[in-house]
């Protein structure tokens, strides 16, 4: 893929030049401290510059840290650092970037102040306010469930079903004026009076919001309400500096595309554990169904998110593969790639490791890169120092600045538009989420994407998405979201740097994790995460790009003398020199770092205090540029940090699978119509007996009344058989219901069958297409008849696997799908099932032993009935594959095999499917090896 670096660049600069002296900046620093820490400001507000050295050590150390931050740390915080937007930033010519020293300050009311705004709903209703539903509501058999939040803690709230409440909620899924709502509901005077009381209750319960409630995305909430920044109100400040001239030399960035390609090739491709676990659990419970997102996440009716289910008891070989714990985070993948070429024994002090000089092998599973992602870096003369590379969108780091500058808003919208244009079959949406008042300032942003989903806050967009409109399904291992209303695939994007792992709201965590699904969103490469706990790490470099700085472990005990007191400044400096520490170094993590100069006594004294507090730490090299790329009008240099947006225009998301629809095809059959649909609840190991001793004789008795039939095994809301019967004459429905109940009565009375339910049969038209659905149903009948014949003779597992293998051979022999395509899909399915079952080396060893036993097992002779049944079944399979569109054939193949395995085995069907595909793959590999040998 061709990578592009956006020509517009955001960069960040500390408040002061790194050459500034404390005494010269003292009054400005005090002003910055007064905004960030009023308590500490009270301690130092009257201190003059010439009195600084006389302050108590702890107070002076705090001042030193503030000043250090204001010179060396570019992460925006109050007025301690600011951002700039540079258009046409990358040019061939050398030209230093000149900024204004003075900061422009965008003042907003501090977000926690929203909790002080208490507006009576009655007054708002008088103003004909807008009303907006909490779209997290959904129905159970007798209640309304929805997400609520009290004191920062989310809960799944519940109230009894109420028709008027449901009418109001449905009417307010888009913000609606009160008067328009009243017209829509057509209430009389008496009903209207009760209605206002009901609205008050619904607002108190967080079922509805008004336009006077907070919104985190869009026009600023306080400004919408007409609340202006005043001296008395707490403030949130965003500092900005205007760029006067200049650009980055494009030569210094030339190696970036090659670096990204290299990192993309060698980094392990792995979805987040919570996402993989959710996908597997969803498959177990819902199979290939599409269900409402909120139902899937319901802790009772669904599977929740990021929690493990308890598995039931299993037997023999199958047991080892069920309920395995997740594998450890796989840093070892990248370790294995690197360790062939790089070991800690090669780490020589002062010697740079060049990644571009290592003959690295690409990773086996390559995933897509996002259409946009960020590289946070600094330019020091000819070198580029990388802080991080990645993200699901580069808008994550830019979103917060949209509140300060309309040009930034347009810049982020352009990126969002490019992402959307590259993926026209899906809709991207931002997620509006707020719960932590003290950190939500960074979440505030303008509307960047074309669609928005608001969770427990008001929505100012024109067409808000609703949580209860979103459907979820799993195709292969990919989780798919779909809007029912728009009938489009949805893909979430968070235009915020908020650390969503802090949240315990399952739907928010899932949506945020889904940003990363199938993508390589982390290309950062710190050596200490790959080779942990070493005393020294060399610089890791790709051409002129430093990926990981030199690091030294500083042990606290090494800085203590015999009396257990800290060494003197001179002794500390001597120790650091002996380790080979650079002239400038920094300590700390992420954006909480401090910079120290080895030859500066104040800095070494501060470093000793830092170690005293934090214990043993790592420090890393820091270079001061000879010619800073960013200066102000007075030519004072700054340590700038650039946020590049890197991306490509390739399509990475496909839309929904297209299945032909025909309005003339009946979707649903109520009981008593053409189809009867029974759910027979019993223990999974009892199901074969029900099939052979109840259903088989029942069908034989009623051959004249039954046009076709099929069964499926299911475990949703309890293990059961789904038995579906198509009648020649719907008038026979009551008779057949009565007859089947008579057959099941003994099992019900003994408790072997716990329940029988008669349901509406809803055809899976989206999955199979209206043009194929009747043929699929007939194929299911042929499949069910064949499986029933196998159950009669209690066919063992190995012979069931062999029949699956024989089926695939017949499909290949028919030419309906070419052999290479079948081999590829078998490999893909096997890999997916292995991943789902978290197989390790010991498991593969057991599988291989089992496969050898499988190969040696004598093939059981089929009865004449079974032989005929298999021929009809395989013929039906091939016929239906010929009827479907070629682009859908492989998907239909795996779907129909999946349904066949479901019928073959009464329990642990997904594990049997894993083994079946593994054996099938081994057969293919043996056959290929034999052909090569010939």
Q: What is the CATH number of the domain that holds 169?
A: 3.90.930
802 and 711 in one domain?
no
pLDDT at 887: 87
Task: Evaluate whether 722 touches 714 at the Cβ level (below 8 Å).
Answer: yes
826 and 723 in one domain?
no
Cα separation of 99 and 13, whole Å?
Answer: 10
**C-alpha of 307 from chain center:** 15
670 and 717 in one domain?
yes
Last residue of a domain, one of 167, 194, 211: 211
Cα separation of 363 and 330, whole Å?
Answer: 13
pLDDT at 337: 61
926 and 845 in one domain?
yes
Give domain status of residue 326, yes or no: no
Instruction: Judge residue 655's burial from the number of C-beta atoms within 10 Å of its C-beta, 0-12 exposed, 13-18 middle, 19 or more buried.
Output: middle
Which of the residues in the chain have pLDDT under 50?
A: 308-315, 326, 328-331, 934
In sequence order, what are the beta bridge partners of 378?
385
**C-alpha of 432 from chain center:** 15
Cα separation of 473 and 480, whole Å?
Answer: 5
Cα separation of 443 and 205, whole Å?
Answer: 25
**C-alpha of 525 from chain center:** 21
Q: Compute the 3-state secondary structure of the chain and give helix, strand, coil in percent, each to the nearest 5.
A: 45, 20, 35
Cα separation of 238 and 83, whole Å?
Answer: 8
> What are the φ and ψ backbone dihedral angles of 86, each rounded to 5 degrees?
-115, 115
Task: Evaluate whether 471 touches 293 at the Cβ level (below 8 Å).
Answer: yes
897 and 809 in one domain?
yes
Last residue of a domain, one of 179, 211, 243: 211
- Angle at 901 (CA atoms; ends 273, 474), nearest 5 degrees: 35
Token readout for 720 is 């059961």
Give domain status of residue 803, yes or no: yes
Give domain status of residue 878, yes or no: yes
803 and 745 in one domain?
no
797 and 910 in one domain?
yes
pLDDT at 310: 33
Give domain status of residue 544, yes or no: no
With b meaning 16 or more CB within 10 Å and e meaning fewer, what string describes 210-219?
bbbbbbbbbe
pLDDT digits (tens, 9 = 90+) for 416-459: 999 999 999 999 999 999 988 888 999 999 999 999 999 999 99
Cα separation of 847 and 480, whole Å?
Answer: 31
Range of the domain at 733: 657-771
Give domain status of residue 929, yes or no: yes
Cα separation of 822 and 819, whole Å?
Answer: 5
Give domain status of residue 701, yes or no: yes
Token readout for 752 is 């072997």
Cα separation of 855 and 852, whole Å?
Answer: 5
> Which CATH number covers residue 664?
3.30.70.100
Last residue of a domain, one of 771, 801, 830: 771
pLDDT at 345: 65
| Tally of domains in the chain | 3
Own/partner pairs, 221-230, CB within 8 angstroms, 24+ separation: 221/114, 222/108, 222/109, 222/113, 222/114, 224/460, 225/117, 227/109, 227/117, 229/107, 229/108, 229/109
Give domain status of residue 664, yes or no: yes
Q: What Cα–Cα distance (Å) separates residue 272 from each residue in 215, 241, 263, 276, 751? A: 30, 38, 19, 6, 43
917 and 800 in one domain?
yes
Task: Evaluate whether 10 touches 398 at the Cβ level (below 8 Å).
Answer: yes
What is this structure's pTM?
A: 0.81
Task: Evaluate whether 838 touches 932 at the Cβ level (below 8 Å).
Answer: no
pLDDT at 308: 30
815 and 756 in one domain?
no
Of 237, 238, 242, 213, residue with least CA distance to 132:
213
Of 194, 220, 646, 47, residue with least CA distance to 393:
646
Token readout for 840 is 């390790």
724 and 684 in one domain?
yes
pLDDT at 399: 95
922 and 825 in one domain?
yes
Give domain status of residue 808, yes or no: yes
Cα separation of 518 and 497, whole Å?
Answer: 20
820 and 743 in one domain?
no
Using the Cα atoms of residue 597, residue 599, residue 600 and residue 601 in order, give the sign of their dihedral.
Answer: positive
């Amino acid at each position: 893929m061709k990578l592009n670096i956006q020509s517009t660049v955001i960069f960040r600069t500390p408040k002061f030049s790194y050459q500034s002296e404390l005494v010269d900046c003292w009054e400005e620093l005090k002003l910055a401290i007064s905004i960030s820490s009023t308590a500490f400001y009270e301690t130092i507000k009257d201190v003059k510059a010439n009195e600084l050295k006389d302050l108590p050590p702890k107070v002076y150390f705090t001042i030193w840290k503030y000043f250090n931050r204001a010179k060396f740390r570019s992460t925006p915080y109050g007025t301690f650092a600011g951002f700039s937007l540079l258009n046409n930033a990358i040019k061939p010519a050398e030209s230093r970037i000149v900024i204004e020293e003075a900061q422009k300050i965008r003042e907003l009311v501090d977000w926690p102040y929203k909790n002080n705004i208490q507006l009576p709903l009655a007054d708002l209703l008088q103003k004909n306010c807008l009303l907006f539903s909490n779209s997290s509501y959904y129905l159970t058999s007798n209640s309304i469930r929805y997400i609520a939040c009290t004191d920062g803690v989310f809960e799944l709230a519940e109230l009894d079903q109420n028709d008027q409440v449901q009418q109001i909620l449905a009417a307010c899924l888009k913000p609606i004026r009160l008067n328009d709502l009243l017209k829509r509901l057509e209430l009389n005077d008496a009903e209207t009076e009760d209605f206002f009381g009901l609205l008050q209750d619904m607002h108190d319960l967080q079922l509805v919001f008004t336009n006077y409630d907070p919104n985190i995305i869009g026009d600023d909430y306080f400004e919408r309400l007409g609340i202006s920044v005043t001296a008395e109100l707490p403030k949130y400040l965003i500092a900005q500096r205007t760029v006067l001239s200049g650009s980055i030399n494009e030569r210094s960035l030339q190696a970036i595309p090659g670096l990204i390609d290299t990192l993309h090739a060698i980094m392990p491709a792995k979805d987040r554990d919570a996402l993989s676990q959710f996908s597997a659990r969803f498959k177990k419970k819902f199979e290939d169904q599409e269900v409402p997102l909120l139902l899937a996440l319901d802790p009772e009716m669904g599977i929740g998110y990021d929690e493990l289910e308890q598995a039931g008891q299993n037997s023999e070989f199958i047991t080892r593969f069920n309920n395995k714990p997740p594998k450890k985070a796989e840093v070892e993948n990248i370790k294995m790639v690197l360790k062939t070429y790089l070991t800690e024994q090669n780490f020589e002090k002062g010697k740079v490791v060049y990644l571009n000089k290592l003959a690295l092998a690409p990773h086996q599973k390559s995933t897509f890169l996002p259409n946009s992602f960020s590289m946070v870096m600094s330019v020091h003369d000819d070198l580029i120092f990388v802080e991080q590379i990645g993200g699901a969108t580069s808008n994550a780091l830019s979103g917060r600045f949209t509140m300060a500058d309309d040009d930034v808003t347009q810049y982020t919208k352009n990126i969002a538009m490019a992402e959307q244009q590259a993926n026209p079959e899906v809709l991207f949406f931002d997620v509006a989420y707020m719960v932590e008042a003290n950190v939500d300032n960074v979440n505030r942003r303008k509307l960047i994407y074309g669609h928005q989903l608001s969770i427990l806050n008001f929505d100012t967009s024109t067409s808000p998405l609703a949580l209860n409109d979103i459907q979820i399904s799993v195709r292969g291992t990919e989780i798919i979201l779909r809007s029912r209303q728009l009938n489009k695939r949805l893909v979430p994007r968070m235009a915020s740097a908020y650390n969503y792992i802090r949240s315990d709201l399952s739907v928010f965590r899932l949506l945020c994790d889904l940003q990363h699904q199938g993508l390589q969103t982390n290309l950062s490469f710190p050596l200490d995460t790959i080779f942990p706990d070493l005393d020294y790490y060399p610089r890791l470099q790709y051409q002129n790009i430093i990926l990981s700085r030199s690091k030294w472990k500083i042990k606290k005990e090494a800085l203590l003398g015999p009396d257990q007191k800290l060494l003197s400044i001179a002794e500390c400096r001597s120790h650091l020199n002996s380790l080979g520490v650079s002239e400038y170094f920094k300590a700390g993590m992420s954006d909480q770092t401090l910079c120290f100069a080895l030859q500066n006594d104040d800095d070494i004294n501060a470093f000793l205090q830092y170690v005293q507090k934090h214990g043993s730490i790592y420090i890393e090299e820091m270079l001061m540029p000879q010619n800073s790329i960013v200066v102000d009008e007075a030519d004072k240099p700054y340590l700038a940090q650039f946020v590049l947006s890197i991306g490509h225009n390739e399509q990475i998301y496909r839309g929904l699978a297209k299945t032909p629809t025909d309005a003339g095809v009946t979707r649903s059959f109520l009981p008593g119509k053409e189809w009867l649909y029974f759910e027979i609840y019993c223990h999974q190991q009892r199901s074969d007996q029900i099939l052979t001793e109840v259903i088989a004789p029942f069908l034989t008795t009623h051959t004249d009344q039954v046009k076709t039939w099929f069964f499926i095994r299911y475990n949703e809301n309890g293990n059961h058989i789904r038995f579906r019967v198509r009648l020649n004459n719907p008038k026979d429905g009551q008779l057949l219901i009565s007859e089947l109940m008579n057959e099941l009565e003994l099992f019900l009375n003994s408790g072997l069958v716990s329940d029988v339910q008669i349901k509406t049969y809803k055809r899976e038209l989206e999955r199979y297409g209206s043009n194929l659905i009747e043929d699929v149903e007939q194929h299911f009948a042929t499949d069910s008849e064949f499986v029933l014949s196998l159950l009669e003779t209690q066919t063992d597992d190995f012979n069931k696997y062999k029949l699956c293998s024989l089926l695939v051979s017949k499909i290949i022999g028919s030419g309906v799908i070419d052999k290479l395509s079948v081999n590829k899909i078998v490999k893909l399915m096997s890999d997916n099932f292995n991943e789902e079952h978290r197989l390790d080396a010991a498991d593969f060893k057991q599988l291989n032993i089992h496969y050898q036993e499988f190969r040696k097992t004598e093939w059981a002779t089929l009865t004449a009935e079974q032989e005929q049944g298999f021929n009809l079944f395989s013929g039906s399979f091939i016929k239906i594959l010929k009827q479907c569109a070629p682009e859908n054939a492989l998907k239909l193949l795996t779907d129909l095999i999946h349904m066949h395995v479901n019928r073959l085995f009464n329990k642990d069907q997904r594990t049997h499917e894993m083994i079946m595909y593994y054996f099938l793959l081994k057969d293919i590999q043996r056959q290929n090896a034999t052909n090569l040998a010939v």
